[in-house]
Structure 1
Amino acid sequence: MANIASLLKTEITRIARKEVRAELESLKKANSHHRALIAELRREIAALQKQLRQVGRERIAVVNETKALNRKYRFSATRLAAHRAKFGLSAADYGKLAGVSGNTIYLWERGKSRPKPEQVQQLGMLKSLSRKAALAQLEKINA
Structure 2
Amino acid sequence: MPNIATVLKEEIARLARKELRQHIDPLRAQVLAQRKAISALKQEVAALQRDMAKLAKGTSKATQAKTDSGSSGKPSRYSGALLRKLRERLGLSRDAFAPLIGASPQAVYNWEQTDTRPRQEFLDKIALVRGLSKAQVAALLEQHGAPKTTRKAGKKTAKNKAVRAKAA
> Normalising by structure 1, what TM-score?
0.49
Higher Cα Rg, which structure: 2
> Normalising by structure 2, what TM-score?
0.42
Q: Which has the higher helix share?
A: 1
